[in-house]
Structure 1
Amino acid sequence: MLFLVLMKKTYARNLQYRSSHAINTVASAIFGLIYVSIWKGIGDPGQAGAAGYTLQNVIHYVAFNQVCLWITLFITNGLGIDRSVRTGQISLDLMRPVHLFYHLMCKEWGQVGYQLLYKSLPIYLLYIWMLNLPVPHSATTWLWTVIALLLAAYMNICVNYLIGVTSLWTTESNWLFWVHYSLSTVLSGFLIPLEWLPDWLQRISHLSFYPYLQYVPTKLYLEMESASLLIGSAIWSFGLTLLCLVVTAWVRRKVEVQGG
């Protein structure tokens, strides 16, 4: 019940700004079209590229990655914990009769749901029309894709929670978010398939959770990989959850606020 209440409140709060958020949606759609235009300019429609990708495969790959961004990457920076530390709100959050991670995680799902409906979905429909983005006919494909996206969103929530709690030890944690964002653009396969990265960078990527944020959901949607990849998503989700719980235990023993 608490999960639904917190999620609905965050969703309702975002509804107040949906007109201004439309600008972000338009800008994101345009960026995706720019990426596609670049690939169209340098690609050869009649030739298969590395790892068996055709120009059409790459266009669909880049397009669906852009659709996923608002679900798997663009969420609240640090889940807003750094702001709570500056105002002193964190002390009240820790006093609530609910676990801090669970509380913030539930709220963030409302943000993810809002962005799915008002950002990802419009971009998805636009790309179906403009780029002939394929729509899977198999219910199984949809099921694996949805599960992959849910796990990707959850992993990113966990990572941002870990980024946020560092503000209890430092006066500035925002830089960690941008490091995370920068790494994700390369290691998640956002702009190019992971198969096209140098071997040493591929190894680093596969040792991290980043491929499960973008690469795995997109490959499952395009029916270019099997559902066995979801095992890795589940393992990373479990591991990040344990890490969040351990870090929260440390946080309860060290509460240093700058506003109270």
Structure 2
Amino acid sequence: MLFATLFRKSYRVNLQYRAAHAVRSVTSLIFGYVYISIWIGLGADHSLGEYGTEGMIAYIAANQSILVLTLFLTYGLGIETLVRSGNISLELIRPVHLFPQLAAREWGKIGYNFVYRALPIYAFFAVVFSIPLPERPATYAYAAASLLMASYISICVNYLIGAMSLWTGEARFLYWLHYAVAMVISGFFIPIEWLPGPLQAVAAWTPYPYIQYAPVTIWLETHDAPAAALATAFGWCAAFTALSYGVTAWMRRKVEVQGG
């Protein structure tokens, strides 16, 4: 009940900033349109592999649409602010565990972003560039599950980044490092299979392909093994959950209240 309340409250808070979010959505549309235009230009002289020009248009549109659900989350889930103010000590002694509490709030923001940002952005691209919907009914369930796990993995990563501010004072550099790496090996700019061999090998050992590439290719029905991708993503979710709870226990030992 508490987590559902936190979800609703966060959702309603974001409703108060619809105008600001609309401006950001327009910015996302502009960037997405630029990326798509680049691939259209490249497609005029190159075959673009198994995707083709239309496939890359759909690929970029889907990637651009889900950024607000996977990568553009609250920096560190707000933990750094709690550390700077000292309120982290109060949050850690609450009878509710810090991780699911902050995660529930972030899910409220993600729910809002899905309805008011991701769907409108994708609908715009789908209409302008005539992007078809998936043909197989199972694709919708697979894509939804993949996207939920992608968001959850990103929540966990941001939680761990925020937790590090307890030792470093601030962890923004870790956030931007995470963002930079994600842009390269998550499959956002180009499909994973087009990366150089060494980068593909690195990506295979990280959760990043399951943040962008897997949800998008499952939705576009170009993924070779969607069920296997979901199983691997679930494994990453379980690992990050255990790590988040473990780091929280470490945080409890780290925090000092008036030297005690």
TM tier relative to shorter chain = over 0.9
- Corresponding residue for 1:202? 200
- Corresponding residue for 2:229? 229
SS at match of 1:169: helix
Matched to 1:105, the amino acid is A
Structure 1: gaps spanning 5 or more residues = none
- Corresponding residue for 1:35? 35
Q: 1:67 to 1:257 in 2, by over 3 A?
A: farther
Matched to 1:202, the amino acid is Q
- Corresponding residue for 1:9? 9
The reply on whether 1:167 has 2:180 as its aligned counterpart is: no
Matched to 2:81, the amino acid is R
CA deviation string 1:28-87 (max 9, x = no partner): 011101000011112237x6333x221111111111000111111111000000001111
Q: 1:122 to 1:200 in 2, by over 3 A?
A: same
Distance 2:43 2:33 in 1: 15
More displaced 10-residue stretch of structure 1: 129-138 or 245-254: 129-138
Distance 2:236 2:177 in 1: 19
Equivalent of residue 116 in structure 2, options 112, 115, 118 = 118
CA contact (8 A) 1:167 1:173 kept: yes
CA deviation string 1:99-138 (max 9, x = no partner): 0101111111001001111110110110111111221243
More displaced 10-residue stretch of structure 1: 233-242 or 136-145: 136-145
- Corresponding residue for 1:93? 91
More displaced 10-residue stretch of structure 1: 146-155 or 225-234: 225-234
Structure 2: gaps spanning 5 or more residues = none
The reply on whether 1:178 has 2:176 as its aligned counterpart is: yes
Q: How does 1:1-260 map to 2 (within 5 A)?
A: 1-44=1-44, 48-50=47-49, 52-225=50-223, 226-227=225-226, 228-255=228-255
Matched to 1:61, the amino acid is Y
Matched to 2:195, the amino acid is L
Q: CA deviation at 1:197?
A: 0.6
CA contact (8 A) 1:94 1:252 kept: yes
CA deviation string 1:131-189 (max 9, x = no partner): 11221243210000000000000000000000000011011201110100000001100
Distance 1:96 1:171 in 2: 22
| Count of residues paired in the alignment | 256
Distance 1:23 1:16 in 2: 14
Q: 1:257 to 1:12 in 2, by over 3 A?
A: farther
Q: CA deviation at 1:257?
A: 8.1
Matched to 1:10, the amino acid is S
Q: 1:249 to 1:31 in 2, by over 3 A?
A: same
| RMSD between superposed Cα atoms in Å | 1.4
